[in-house]
Structure 1
Amino acid sequence: MLAALSAASLAAPRAAAAQTPPPVPDPAALEEVLRRAAALPRLHALIIARNGVPLAERAFRGPPLDRPVNIKSASKTVLSALVGAAIARGVLDGPDQRIAPILGRLLPAGLDPRVAEITVGHLLSMRAGLERTSGANYGAFAGSRDWVRFILTRPFVDEPGGGMQYSTGSTHLLSAVLTRASGRSTLELARAWLGEPLGISIPPWTRDPQGIFFGGNDMLLSPRALLRFGEMYRAGGVFGGARVLPAEWVRQSWTPRARSPWSRQVYGYGWWIAEAGGLPVFFAWGYGGQMLYLVPELALCVVMTSDPAGPRAPEHTAALHALLSETILPTLGAGNGARGTLLDNGRVAVPD
């Protein structure tokens, strides 16, 4: 699939979408989508938008659509956007830049020499090589006195640039890198580089014991703010006629770079990459069912937020993937309802 979903093959559907107007959905069919969505007990809200215009939006339970909610690991996708904005502004050199010189005094003594080889791109694609701080290791990481130290002193389970190790620690290191390189907090950067141009509110979120804003979890965005963020990516980095991110950064972010050893899902720079109904799908994915799906060929953006406080429930994530691929996409004239690779091998990972 890494070969099949090449950058070139993913660019073609976006061009086709601009040339061929998608069919107008049947209002009764959209109501049926909302009815099926409402039957999912953990699903809080759903927005389906085409070309930035909502076709259907509903808060079934939980907060209203304009209230910021915890987007969990969908925060990793926002961190990736901030890295792209930092590169565009010259704050960072690019994905190949090594992080150790940037972190400087934050580096603990006695580190494995391979830490010096870790780059920004390795962190974005979850290929730093360090033992992951998600899953069974998440509690020890979040409870440690120095998160950056904890991450960097994990043993190497692969070489930098090797296989994918899904780790919230990797995106927290990116938050530390952004803070050190810019001299500003990640919250300030998020508000200036995303909040202002997108016209969205970004409240403060969790910080580590050293005051670095959590990179990769616990960011707070409303469903409607997520829609604007997604629309900006769908439009190649532009929102409201103004450029927010370089088009090249969108392309790089959607280029397959790694594959989860557990779920077999494909990953770019902070984005999961899959297919559904025969179409490329790019999505942000947070614990509990915080989802942002983009289907460029249909000019489609779908936001789903869910109860983030419950236990792990892979069946809920599977239901959300199925809602998109088996209900929403056929309603909008795509494919035949096949699940594609959103549920590769029937195994659903649940990011922390």
Structure 2
Amino acid sequence: MKGILKKVYVIFFISYFVFFTSWFPGLSFFNNSNKVELNDNVKLQAQAPDYWPTTGWRASSPESQGVSPQKLQEMEDYIVSENIGGYIDSLLIVRNGYLVYESYPSHIYDANIRHHIFSCTKVFTSTLIGVALEEGYISGLDDYVLDYFPNRTFDNMDYRKEAITIKDLLTMTSGIAWTDQVDYYQMAFSYNWVQYVLDQPMVHQPGEVWNYNTGGSHLLSAILDRETPNGTLDYAKTRIFDPLNITEYSWNLDRQGIPIGGTLLHLTPRDMAKFGFLYLNNGTWNGTQLIPASWVAEATTSFIDVEFDQSHGSGYGYQWWIYNWLNAYTARGSNQQYIVVIPDLNLVVVSTGNTEYQFIRLLVDFILPSAGFTPLNLVFVISLIVGTISLSILLGFTFFHFKKKRTIKKLRKEFFEETDSNGETFQ
């Protein structure tokens, strides 16, 4: 019995050791082979690009870049079987700097037509804040927002509103009372968007509670428009769009001529992929550091826990949504606009759509496996099952063993009591 219990205990220990190390990637001996060593939280690409897609993307067969064409075919079959092709305006996959998949299932758009990227706009605004910080146009993320709007008065003033910082806007923790589905549209119909946002009352201390707020993103653009030499739009053109050769774009303005910081930027899907590729390469483009690498690392770090994408997502950075389990991050906009950056797989995925079609299902079930990543690691699952079974056996044997032992003790006690009553003595 002791030998059996010992073997079961060993199986249980090994299984749960594998289980926990599979769950915590930093401890795992079974990491995906595509994963790379991360240094000081800076996301590293799996390999340096052998060309830069400034003048356009080079196409490659999926298998040449380690992507399974069978999985991509399964994805296309799924799109057809679920009848969701009409909702997907574009779907692009870039692996190792090469365009390995490009599709326009709805047939509404093609590679040359700009698409409204909705709230993906926010990461462009955030990026410009990082560049402006590096160039000295903004002194620090702890700057108080109201200091950038001097000689103006706002309603519902209190000490909390005075304490809102640029970082609070970046992380959606300003504490301003805001329901995006309502307040965004009221802001849009107001004469002065900045005034509308900063007139709202406070409900939380800044920096404490996450609450999605497109108005806060617009304040970031307003700060850029005030502090950079020729305003937000020119700053985006000279610092990001021109170096990446992004020429087909438009960005709607508010009534004061400020580019709308949280939405209404229009880009082609291929240019969206360029922006993702810029982040994949830590802000470097063709030998030039367009975005500080430290900003890329910081902006894509989770500062607060936020669940999204059916709980596949778990954090929020500087306007970027974070997939902690995947060591990846994404820009997200209404109707399934996505720019997903997965450094460990050297992968950028772009989606544009016209309704909510659950892009995350395509990403998790087809795109990631096609690149060699299994979200629910097989080792993780097997170790969990084996560990649970061995634990059950261990507990069962232990219970049986102690029950049997107690029964023997009880019989011995009864036997001794009986013999003692007969006046006999046992050694």
Q: Is 2:339–2:348's contact at 8 Å kept on the other side of the alignment?
A: yes
Alignment of 1:204-243 (within 5 A): 204-243=250-289
How far did 1:13 drift?
9.3
**Bigger share in helix:** 2
Look up the match of 2:316. 267
Given the alignment, which residue of 30, 34, 45 partners 2:72?
A: 30
Q: Write the deviation string for residues 139-168 of structure 1: whole angstroms up to 9, x where unpaired.
A: 212111211111011111111111101100
Mean Cα displacement is larger for which, 59-68 or 170-179?
Answer: 59-68
Which residue of the partner structure matches residue 363 of structure 2? Answer: 324
2:307–2:315 Cα contact (<8 Å) kept: no
Distance 1:201 1:23 in 2: 28
Query: For this pair of structures, how many residues does the alignment match?
Result: 322
State which drifts further: 264-273 or 31-40: 31-40
Q: Does the CA contact (< 8 Å) of 1:23 and 1:333 recur in 2? A: no
Q: For the residues of structure 2 that align with 1:12 and 1:159, how far apart are their CA atoms?
A: 28
SS in 1 for 2:183: helix
Cα 1:98–1:112 shift into 2, 3 Å: same
Per-residue deviation at 1:88?
A: 1.3
1:181-215 Cα distance to aligned partner (Å, 9 max, x none):
11423211111111011111253322222221111
User: Residues 252-287 of structure 1: CA distance to partner in whole angstroms, max 9, x if unpaired?
Assistant: 101111233888741000100014xx5222000001
Whole-angstrom CA distance in 1 between matches of 2:175 and 2:156: 17
In 2, the alpha carbon distance for the partners of 1:43 and 1:219 equals 19
The more displaced of 85-94 and 100-109 is: 100-109
The answer to whether 1:289 aligns with 2:336 is yes
**What's 2:373 paired with?**
334
**One-letter code of the match for 2:96?**
N
TM-score normalised according to structure 2 size: 0.70
Cα pair 1:166 1:260 within 8 Å, conserved? no
Q: What is the CA-CA distance between 1:324 and the residue it aligns to?
A: 0.5
Output the CA distance in 1 between the equivalents of 2:242 and 2:148: 27
- 8 Å Cα contact 2:104-2:110 kept in structure 1: yes
How many Å separate the matches in 1 of 2:244 and 2:234?
15
Corresponding residue number in structure 2 for 1:347: none
Structure 1 stretches lacking a partner, 5+ long = 339-352
Q: CA deviation at 1:110?
A: 6.3
Using the size of structure 1 for normalisation, the TM-score is 0.83
Letter in 2 for 1:293: V
- 2:101 aligned partner: 56
Task: Give me the whole-angstrom Cα distance separating, in 2, the residues matched to 1:184 and 1:171.
Answer: 19
| Aligned-partner Cα distance in 2 for 1:202–1:119 | 33
Pairwise CA distance, 1:36? 3.4
Identical residues among aligned pairs (%): 30
Question: What's 2:140 paired with?
Answer: 94
Q: 2:243 aligns with which of 197, 203, 212?
A: 197
Whole-angstrom distance in 2 between the partners of 1:170 and 1:129:
10
RMSD of aligned alpha carbons: 2.7
- Residue deviations 1:73-112, cap 9 Å, x none? 0101111111111111111112212221222245536633
Q: Rg bigger for which structure?
A: 2
1:124 aligns with 2:170: yes
User: Are the counterparts in 2 of residues 79 and 216 from structure 1 also a CA contact under 8 Å?
Assistant: yes
Secondary structure, counterpart of 1:54 in structure 2 = strand
The one-letter amino acid of 1:104's match is: P
Aligned partner letter, 2:321: W
Q: Is the 8 A contact 2:120 2:338 kept in 1?
A: yes
The reply to whether residue 45 of structure 1 matches residue 94 of structure 2 is no
2:149 aligned counterpart, secondary structure: helix
CA contact (8 A) 2:175 2:206 kept: yes
Please list, as runs of the form range in 1=range in 2, the aligned pairs for 1:105-254 lying within 5 A after superposition.
Answer: 105-108=151-154, 111-201=157-247, 203-254=249-300
Q: Give SS of 1:151's match.
A: helix
